[in-house]
């Protein structure tokens, strides 16, 4: 799941650069990938609305740094059978 989350981050990043080039250009110097560092900050188990709804997830939290400065995070929520349920690409 961790390696897949990293791959999914890069896909989300490329989508972000394509969909919002002005903001991405300001923050990431025209999407300069060489200065981006990502690392897994946290892996957690979350149970939402338990026991009524029984929605449980494994969450991989990836921190995003650019030029050694934290600029955002990317979270991927996996169902217990390993499928991606949702993801969040957040830039501060």
What span, in angstroms and rounded, lies between the C-alpha atoms of 84 and 76?
7
pLDDT digits (tens, 9 = 90+) for 44-77: 999 877 667 778 999 999 999 999 999 999 999 9
Residue 44: CB partners within 8 Å, gap ≥ 6?
58, 59, 61
Cβ atoms < 10 Å from Cβ of 75: 19
pLDDT digits (tens, 9 = 90+) for 75-89: 999 999 999 999 999
* pTM tops 0.85, yes or no: yes
């Amino acid at each position: 799941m961790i390696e897949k989350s990293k791959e999914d981050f890069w896909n989300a990043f490329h989508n972000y650069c394509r969909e919002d080039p002005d903001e991405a250009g300001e923050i990431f110097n025209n999407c300069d990938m060489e200065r981006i560092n990502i690392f897994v900050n946290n892996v957690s188990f979350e149970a939402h609305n338990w026991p009524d709804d029984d929605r449980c997830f494994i969450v991989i939290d990836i921190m995003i740094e650019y030029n050694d400065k934290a600029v955002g995070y990317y979270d991927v929520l996996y169902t217990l059978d390993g499928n991606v349920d949702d993801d969040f690409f957040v830039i501060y």
